[in-house]
A and B are shown apart, each in its own frame.
Chain A
Amino acid sequence: MSSLPLADLVDLFLRFLMLSLLSIGGAMSTAPEMHRFLVAERGWLNDADFTTAIALAQAAPGPNVLFVPVLGFQVAGVVGAAAALLGILLPSTLLSLGVSRWGAQRRDAPAVRAFTAGLAPVSVGLVFATGWLLSLPFIAAPEHRLGALALIAATMAVTLKTRLAPIWMIVVGATVGALGGV
Chain B
Amino acid sequence: MTPAAPDHPRPRSPLHLFIAFTVLALQGFGGVLAVAQRELVDRRRWMTREEFVDAYSVAQLLPGPNVVNLSLMLGDRFFGWRGAFAAISGMLFAPLVLVIVLAAGYNQLAGFPAVAGALRGMGAVAAGLILAMALKMLGTLRRNPLGPALCALLGLTTLVAVTVFRVPLAWVVIGLGTAGWCIARWCIARQEGARR
Chain A residues with a Cβ under 8 A of chain B:
1, 18-30, 32-33, 36, 40, 51-66, 69-70, 73-74, 78, 81, 85, 89, 91-93, 95-97, 99-101, 104, 107, 110-135, 137-138, 144, 147-149, 151-156, 159-160, 165-167, 169-170, 172-182
Contacts and interface: CB of A to CB of B under 8 A. Distances in A.
B15 interface: no
Contact of A120 (B26, B67, B126, B144): B144
Interface in B63-81: 63-69, 72-73, 76, 81
Interface stretch (B4-12, B39-47, B53-61): B53-61
Interface of B: 1, 25-32, 54, 57-69, 72-73, 76, 81, 84, 88, 91-92, 94-96, 98-100, 102-104, 106-107, 113-115, 117-138, 140-141, 144-146, 150-152, 154-159, 162-163, 166, 168-170, 172-173, 176-177, 179-185, 187-189, 192
Please report whether the interface of chain B is mostly helix, strand, loop or mixed according to DSSP.
helix
B2 to A, nearest CB: 8
B145 A117 contact: yes
Contacts of B158: 121-122, 124-126, 129
A151 to B, nearest CB: 4
A58 B103 contact: no
A110 B185 contact: yes
Contact of B98 (A58, A62, A64): A62
B117 A22 contact: no
B68 A63 contact: yes
Among B127, B133, B136, find the residue whose CB has the most chain A CB atoms closer than 10 A. B127
Contacts of B91: 62-63
Given A22-B169, A110-B192, A135-B131, 18 more contacts: A1-B107, A26-B64, A56-B119, A61-B27, A63-B65, A73-B103, A96-B62, A107-B58, A114-B145, A117-B188, A118-B183, A122-B173, A131-B133, A134-B123, A159-B136, A169-B129, A180-B117, A182-B117
A91 B69 CA distance: 12
A166 B180 contact: no
Please report whether the interface of chain A is mostly helix, strand, loop or mixed according to DSSP.
helix
A115 B125 contact: no
B63 A95 contact: yes
